[in-house]
Each structure stands twice: as C-alpha cells, then as structure tokens.
Amino acid sequence: MKEKEIQDLKKLLTAPQNIVIIPHKNPDGDAMGSTIALQNYLSQNNHKATVIAPNDYPSFLKWLPSNDAVVIYDQETTEANQLIEEAELIFTLDFNHLGRCGDLESPLKKATAIFVMIDHHQQPDDYATYMYSDTTMSSTCQMVYHFIDMMNDLEKITPNMATCLYTGIMTDTGSFRYRSTTSTTHKAIAHLIDLGADNTTIHQKIYDTNTLAKLQLKGVALKNLNVLPEYRTAYITMSQKELNQNNYKKGDTEGFVNIGLSLEGIVFALIFIENEQENIVKISLRSKGDFSVNEFARSHFEGGGHNNASGGKSDLSLEKTIENFMSILPEYKTALLKS
Ligand code: 5GP
Ligand code: MN
C-alpha cells in the first residue's frame, strides 16, 4: 500500500466507524483468520466492526476465537443487509473480485461505504478505494499482520488475534511449505508465537480432527485417483453420490487435491467435486513449478487464484466436465513437460 494511502486510512480510522469485514465464499482458514483478527483489532479502537461470511464454513474452523460473533449471510440475511447498508467502511479480505462472495455480491455493489481490499490473489478488480494487494504474500493473514504494523499497532495484537493470524498463515502455506513462505513469513510467525499463538495446539485443532467418515471419504478419493503420466497430471473425482454415501460435511474434502500432487513426477493435480445443490462441479487445482493453474482455471473454468493454487467451476455434469478437461489438456502438454 502506498504511504499516502496508509496515512489517509490511519486518519479515517481515528474516528469510530461502522465497519463490515467480508471473507470470500466457502471461507478457509486464511479468510476466517484474517477477518476475525482484523475485526478484533478494529473493535479495540472503538469501531463497530462485524465479520459477515457469505456462507458457513467447516467445523475445523469453528474453534477460532470470536467465531460466535461472525454473521453468516445466507442464514442471517436481513441483519447482514442492514449492517452493509449502514457501513461506512467495508474491508474485503482474501479475494479480489466481488463475484467471489456469492449472494453478497449484489448488496456489496449497492453499498455506499468506502472499500478497502487486503488480498494476495492475482489480477485484482478495481472496486476498492484503498488497495493492499500483494501476490508475493503467503496469505492474507500475513498481510493483516503487516497492515497492523503499518498502523504502528503491533503491540495491540492480543493472543486471540495472534491465534487467528497464525492459523491462516499456516493453512495457506501448507504449514510453511509452499514457495510463498519467506523469511518474512517466519519472522511474523515467530512474533505471533511470542504474542500468544499456541502453535502446537493450533496445528492439532486444524489437522487432528478427522472423523471416521472423513477418512473413509479419503479412501474413496484415493480409489478415484487418475494418473496421466504423459501429462504429469493427476486428478480425483468425487460424485455427489459418493459424498452422500460417506456422510459428507463441509470441509471434509479439504486438502484432498494435494494427494495427486504428492506423487513423484506429478506437477498438476485437480479434484472435481460434484455439487448437486448448486448444480456445478467445483474444481480445485494445484501445481508445482512454473505451470500456472491461475491461468488454467481462468481460461477454462471461470476461476482463478494463485499460480500454484486456484479454483474454478463447471456447469456441465461431472462426466462431461472430465471429458472437457481431457480435451483441453493436450494444449498444455509442452508446458506441463517443461514445468
Ligand atoms: P481451493 O481450491 O482451496 O478452494 O482454492 C484455491 C485458491 O483458489 C484459493 O486461493 C481460493 O481463494 C482460489 N479460488 C478458489 N475457487 C475460486 C474461484 O471460483 N474463483 C477464483 N477467482 N478463485 C478461486
Ligand atoms: Mn488466502
């Protein structure tokens, strides 16, 4: 963010404001960690700040401090619409175009508030007055840490805020493994531990909460793993029927896409998950090296994200989506073999 913007925002935040903070649809650890931490920070400074999530999120995130104060748009629509109407400032976190927040898109487009974007995805849209967009950042949580630093308020990070920020940095970096993890990330993490984030407990709360159903679902994913060595690609399909048979709950398939990527020699991995309720197939894409899944998702599946992690969707049936995918893949053969 430019120095002038930082100074302007600082000034704006000296008087109490009505503030709404929005994560993307199907929020993950980074989206919930960053929005809740920012909400805690702004509340300390006498603002009235509320997190409004477009829809519900997985139970492995429900232990986050202040989780109970989050308003879920598709469950508390009237209250949320009122908060958005009254808002003077709207922070949008961990996404960069309003289409990413589902049914919240329309009330946000009508809102009169000043928008602030904090985000680390590629190709941001131009809806925010204040834009802190940095694609080199590991996570939006790391950016919220730097944002609080820009406001000269690092000492205001409470143990609860440190816990939220640690969680999002950890989940978005695959526990500090991905290339976006820098020494600056580790310095922020070290500071967050000093400020009260209990690192071991956070890892356990996120990763050691398997249910038998989830492990059985993983068995189905392993059985459905298709490997295409000639394209250095692996993909998994999950039909709605398979999800139902295994008592699927939101978040149960989180991380499954990485199963394919862990195979030696594979640089491109996908998971196609049928969602009958929304009448779509939701797609998660991951890559290693130079192969851009952001470009792939953007060009073919109405999606986007980062170079090595992106998402998208298809309106075709699961079967037709795979057929379509298989017809596209040859175009990318050279790029995949080079990656
Ligand atoms: P995931 O596969 O874990 O849902 O998402 C991977 C990355 O891609 C995340 O950074 C997420 O925000 C982004 N992403 C997921 N789905 C979409 C989508 O439909 N559109 C865009 N633009 N980004 C997405
Ligand atoms: Mn993120």
| CATH assignment of the domain containing 331 | 3.10.310.30
**In the chain, what is the straight-line distance between the N-terminal and C-terminal CA atoms, in Å?**
32
Q: Which of 93, 94, 100 to mutate to test the pocket of ligand 1 (most atoms within 8 A of CB)?
A: 100
Q: Domain of 188?
A: 3-207
**Per-residue pLDDT tens digits for 14-63:** 999 999 999 999 999 999 999 999 999 999 999 999 999 999 999 999 99
Q: Is 305 in the pocket of ligand 1 (CB under 6 A)?
A: yes
Q: Which of 207, 240, 259 corresponds to the end of one domain?
A: 207
202 with 222, same domain: the answer is: no
220 with 193, same domain: the answer is: no
Q: What does each C-alpha distance from 144 to 15, 37, 157 come to in angstroms? A: 20, 8, 11
What is the distance in A from the centroid of ligand 1 to the CA of 263? 22
Selection from 240, 24, 216 nearest residue 120 by Cα: 24
Question: What is the CB-side half-sphere exposure of residue 120 using CA atoms within 13 A?
Answer: 25
3-state SS record for 50-119: EEEECCCCCHHHCCCCCHHHCEECCCCHHHHHHHHHHCCEEEEECCCCHHHHHHHHHHHHHCCCEEEEEE
Kindly state the average pLDDT of the residues 83-101: 98
Q: What does each C-alpha distance from 154 to 15, 147, 148, 177, 184 come to in angstroms? A: 19, 9, 6, 25, 15
Selection from 259, 318, 309 nearest residue 284 by Cα: 309
Q: What's the CA gap between 256 and 235, in Å, rounded?
A: 10
35 with 178, same domain: the answer is: yes
pLDDT of residue 339: 84
CATH number at residue 51: 3.90.1640.10
Which residue minimizes the CA distance to atom 3 of ligand 1?
284
106 with 247, same domain: the answer is: no
Structural domain count, the chain: 2
Kindly state the average pLDDT of the residues 133-146: 98
What is the distance in A from the centroid of ligand 1 to the CA of 147? 23
100 with 174, same domain: the answer is: yes
Q: Where are the beta strands (DSSP E) in 144-207?
A: none
284 with 201, same domain: the answer is: no
243 with 200, same domain: the answer is: no
User: What are the residues whose beta carbons fall under 8 Å from the beta carbon of 11, sequence distance 6 or more?
Assistant: none
3-state secondary structure at position 235: strand
What is the distance in A from the centroid of ligand 1 to the CA of 298? 10
Tell me the percentage of the chain whose pLDDT exceeds 90. Answer: 98
Kindly state the average pLDDT of the residues 158-185: 97
229 with 282, same domain: the answer is: yes
Q: Which of 183, 207, 231 corresponds to the end of one domain?
A: 207
Q: Which of 207, 224, 246 corresponds to the end of one domain?
A: 207
161 with 281, same domain: the answer is: no
Kindly state the average pLDDT of the residues 193-200: 98
Which structure tokens are listed for 13? 């935040």
pLDDT of residue 186: 98
155 with 291, same domain: the answer is: no
Which structure tokens are listed for 318? 């699961």
Looking up tokens 């991380």, which residue turns up?
Answer: 255
167 with 229, same domain: the answer is: no
pTM of the model: 0.96
116 with 64, same domain: the answer is: yes
